[in-house]
Structure 1
Amino acid sequence: MHTLKATASSSLSLAEGNYIYSIAAASVGSFAAISSDDSLRVFDAADLSHVSVVAAEAHRGVTSLKSYDVGQQLVATGGRDGRVKLWDVRNGNNSAVMEVGTSKASPVLSVACCPETNSLVAGTELVSSQAIVQFWDVRSPGQIRLQYVESHNDDVTELQYHPTRHDILLSGSTDGLVNIYNTAITDEDDALVQVINHGSVHHAGFLSEQTIYALSHDEVFSIHPATDPDDEQAQVPDPVQFGDLRQPLSCEYIAQLCVGSQGPYIAAGNKMEQRLDLVPLVASPSWTFDQENLWRLPGAHGEEIVRSVYLDEQSQSVFTGGEDGFVRVWRADSEATEPEGSVKASRKEKKGKDKGRFKPY
């Protein structure tokens, strides 16, 4: 086991009682964060005290954040107001550079971006018996480019593009399905190239070009081979079913899965023991967790849940955001000092506490 130490901590100037939903890269050396006060903020990786508010109210009920183009300093957000917005984080005028709305103004629970195809995608809540995966071309935001309306029959909680094939999109839903689409095909039935039945999807995505993972809201985890739509005769290996991860990883919840250059890690949290573990997931000889080489973040966010984890390989740091309302930086640094807002500080009474852990947003 290895240990990381908290070297810095910041509330990002959030008002008392708010907490961090998600962190994403905004540009080289800076990160965006969305919070329970509906704001979109940017902070400097080297100095957490350098914070700017891109939008005080990004949405009426912000739910999702993704990097669109780090080089152009663009991020995308979605919200319960049925809007998807593209932001230039260099602007602090509360004005998005692009804004689109979903059909029926359905609340947005997930977003995905593909700058190579100028694509912005939203996954919606179930409204009037429809949960939609909806596409826009950012060059022509006035019209919907494509939408899939029959592939899910409950909230779409996850969207992710394939790491190299820009026409392949993954979606996950509380209906239990993980779907893989070839978005070059407009007909929805023909576009659906793979369906995985897993259970209510909290997170799902690509571990590699050929491998898909799924994590349910009750912490059940599985790994599946991606089928090759161009080779229907190929032999597909069986999926690896890990079951509920809480007992084998000695945790209370799974925050997310992170993929770095060294491979994937499961971020496993334990509120009672006030820690977060980054557990390597290794593929050889078969998929398993390498618990002997996990990275422990002692103290984590105290007794509060860690909502977001970002591995920043440029600065060799881990950034975490939590329900205590703080962003923390973790490094392998023996000279780290006790951060502001440490776990010894009094707990915040958080706004929106009824937005429970096992909801898909």
Structure 2
Amino acid sequence: MSAVEQVEQQLAGLRIARRCVPSEEPAYLLDIHTSGAAQPGASPLVAVSCSNESLRVYDGDTLRLLREYGARGGALAGVRFAHTSASLLFSACSQGTVKCWDVRSAMQKPVQVFSGYPSNVFISFDISCSDLIVCAGTEKVEKDTFLVFWDARGITDCASATKEPLGVYSESHNDDITKICFHPVEPNLVVSGSTDGLVNVFDINKDNEDDALISTCNSDSSVSSLGWAGEDYKQVYCMTHDEGFCWWDTARLDTEEPITLLHVLDAREAVSAENHSLQYLVGGFYHEKAGKLFLLGGAATGDVHLLSCSTEGLSLVGTLRGGHAATVRSCCWSPTEESLLTGGEDAQLLLWKPGAVERSLAKKASLKISSSVQKRVRVHNTSLKSRKK
């Protein structure tokens, strides 16, 4: 059996190891991230941003709630642990700030606030792999949309200080910047996606925005998610709000070969022959051991579908059932633990591991949340000009 087949079999065999059902006011789980640099023998941490504007931190092994930071500062636009410290956690919010929290402290006060410009509404952000630069993307205000950058050094030395931006990129997108993702190993590379359909790769070491823009790829739709893939992470992929998928190879930029590896207008149709219940895409991850890109999708019933990507198309690897009772909104693959975390509109956080057996086998009641919660979650307008078929 090849390494790819082994990994696909392992993914298809993921089972629920832990389940966390918050007892308080239910909220959609919008984004999930795990810490990487825990102490030897210590559990990793899991952070979740919720639709009620709270930020929760869990023990990665038991899913026990350790910290919760309250609903202040507007809707959250993602959550990220620092790469070099498991105790520093970043979150961006719609009120134009990125905050850094020290999860060792029970204080409801961030150790650092990165402030934007007065009109900024942040809906995406990330931190470079070296933890030196924070970047956030804004909603469009009048004609302006920005990538805002800060120097993230010296967080623990200047508690509660507010940092001003280093500067902005303002010319490369003309609509809401929905996703930002720094390169996993090259701290100067960052990719951004927008409702304008563009996916831009920048080298932020360059002196100005024009020189920094390495490549512009067009998804022909509104970008909902993106990431890096491939050997040395030279590939970029994105998902769109109308369930499309695009995959490009930036290593081909200076060659005669086309950079588009795959462009699927509608993933629901692309895998319908195998599974009729794929209704949406959630996210993706690159599996280094298999050298393979995988996507996660799902159905409104809560089923999670694992899809394998090749230049020939998308194919179903397996379906994870019995977990969620409603739409899955977020996912996070942990390569060190070889486990998957998923969160959804049923307020559940699930940890999936190969061949796991869930401790509690009590029958789960339906956890579908009233649609009133939806009012708190921004839904991007995906009505775009007709696309080329």
TM-score surpassing 0.5? yes
Q: Does 1:213 align with 2:242?
A: no
CA distance in 2, matches of 1:16, 1:340: 22
The SS at the match of 2:25 is coil
Give the 3-state SS of the residue equivalent to 1:69 in structure 2: coil
Give the aligned partner of residue 38 of structure 1: 53
| Aligned 8 A contact 1:73 1:89 in 2 | yes
Q: What residue is the counterpart of 1:269 in the other structure?
A: 298
The Cα shift of 1:117 comes to 5.8
Amino acid paired to 1:20? L
Distance 1:200 1:335, change over 3 A: closer
Aligned match of 1:169: 190
Is 2:331 aligned against 1:317? no
Q: Give CA deviations for 1:323-343 in whole Å, capped at 9, x if unaligned.
A: 10110122233643555683x
Answer yes or no: is the 8 Å Cα contact 1:12–1:43 preserved in 2: no
Q: Partner residue of 1:118?
A: 132
Aligned-partner Cα distance in 2 for 1:329–1:307:
14
Partner of 1:100: 114
After superposition, the Cα gap between the structure-2 partners of 1:184 and 1:5, relative to the gap in structure 1 and judged at 3 Å, is: same
Identify the residue that residue 159 of structure 2 maps to in structure 1: none
Q: Report the alpha carbon displacement of residue 70 of structure 1 after superposing the two structures with TM.
A: 5.2
Q: Is the 8 A contact 1:18 1:351 kept in 2?
A: no
Tell me what 1:308 maps to: 330
2:26 maps to 1:17: yes
Residue by residue, what CA displacement relative to the aligned partner does 1:179-235 show, whole Å, maximum 9, x if unpaired? 111111232122112111112111122113221112110011111121577xx4x32
How far apart in 2 are the matches of 1:315 and 1:207? 19
The alpha-carbon deviation at position 157 of structure 1 amounts to 0.5
Distance 1:94 1:349, change over 3 A: same
Poorly superposed stretches of 4+, deviation over 6 Å: none
Query: After superposition, what is the alpha-carbon deviation per residue over 1:242-276, rounded to whole angstroms, capped at 9, x for unaligned?
Result: 2210122341000111223333211010124x411
Paired amino acid for 1:22:
D
Partners of 1:205 and 1:360 lie apart in 2 by: 22
- Percent of aligned pairs with the same amino acid: 24
CA-CA distance at 1:53 after TM superposition: 2.2
Separation in 1, partners of 2:179, 2:97: 16
Determine the C-alpha separation between the residues in 1 that align with 2:238 and 2:282: 13
The superposition leaves residues 262-306 of structure 1 with CA deviations (integer Å, 9 ceiling, x where unpaired) of 33211010124x411112224xxx353342xx132103411x111
2:152 maps to 1:138: yes
Provide the rounded CA distance (Å) in 1 between the counterparts of 2:241 and 2:72. Answer: 26
Q: Give yes or no for contact 1:76–1:86 (8 Å, CA) kept in 2.
A: yes
- Code of the residue aligned with 1:255 in structure 2: it is V
**For residues 344 and 362 of structure 2, what CA distance do their matches in structure 1 show?**
14
On the 8 A contact 2:129/2:182 being kept in 1, the answer is no
Q: Does 1:260 align with 2:257?
A: no
Taking a change above 3 Å as real, the CA distance of residues 345 and 241 of structure 1, as seen in their structure-2 partners, is closer
Q: Taking structure 1 as reference, are residues 63 and 357 closer, same or farther at Cα in structure 2, changes over 3 Å only? A: closer
For residue 26 of structure 1, what is the aligned residue in structure 2?
A: 35
Shift of 1:158: 0.7
Q: Determine helix, strand or coil for the equivalent of 1:37.
A: coil
- Aligned CA distance change for structure 1 residues 120 and 309 (closer, same or farther; 3 Å): same
Counterpart position of 1:331: 353
CA separation of 1:34/1:163 partners in 2, compared to 1, >3 Å: closer, same or farther?
same
Tell me the distance in 1 between the aligned counterparts of 2:363 and 2:31. 19
Letter in 1 for 2:368: R
Aligned equivalents of 1:71, 1:101: Cα separation in 2: 22
Q: CA deviation at 1:241?
A: 1.4
Q: TM-score, normalised by structure 2?
A: 0.82
- Which segment drifts farther, 30-39 or 53-62? 53-62
CA contact (8 A) 1:194 1:227 kept: no
Displacement after TM superposition at 1:90 (Å):
1.4
Shift of residue 307 of structure 1? 1.1
2:3 paired residue number: none
Counterpart Cα distance in 1 of 2:52 and 2:307: 31
Would you say 1:295 and 2:324 are equivalent positions? no
Question: What residue identity is the alignment partner of 1:299?
Answer: G
Question: Is 2:141 aligned against 1:127?
Answer: yes
CA distance 1:280–1:228, shift in 2 (3 Å):
closer
Distance change in 2, residues 1:156/1:341 (3 Å): farther
- What runs of 5+ residues in structure 2 fail to find an aligned partner? 1-8, 39-43, 155-161, 383-389
Q: Which runs of 5+ in 1 are unaligned?
A: none
- Contact 1:67–1:75 under 8 Å retained in 2: yes
Change (3 A) 1:16 1:340: farther
TM norm structure 1: 0.88
Q: Tell whether the 8 Å contact from 1:19 to 1:350 is kept in structure 2 after alignment.
A: no
| Closer, same or farther: CA 145–252 of 1 in aligned 2, 3 Å | same
Of 192-201 and 162-171, the range deviating more from structure 2: 162-171
Change (3 A) 1:300 1:117: closer
For the residues of structure 1 that align with 2:104 and 2:361, how far apart are their CA atoms?
28
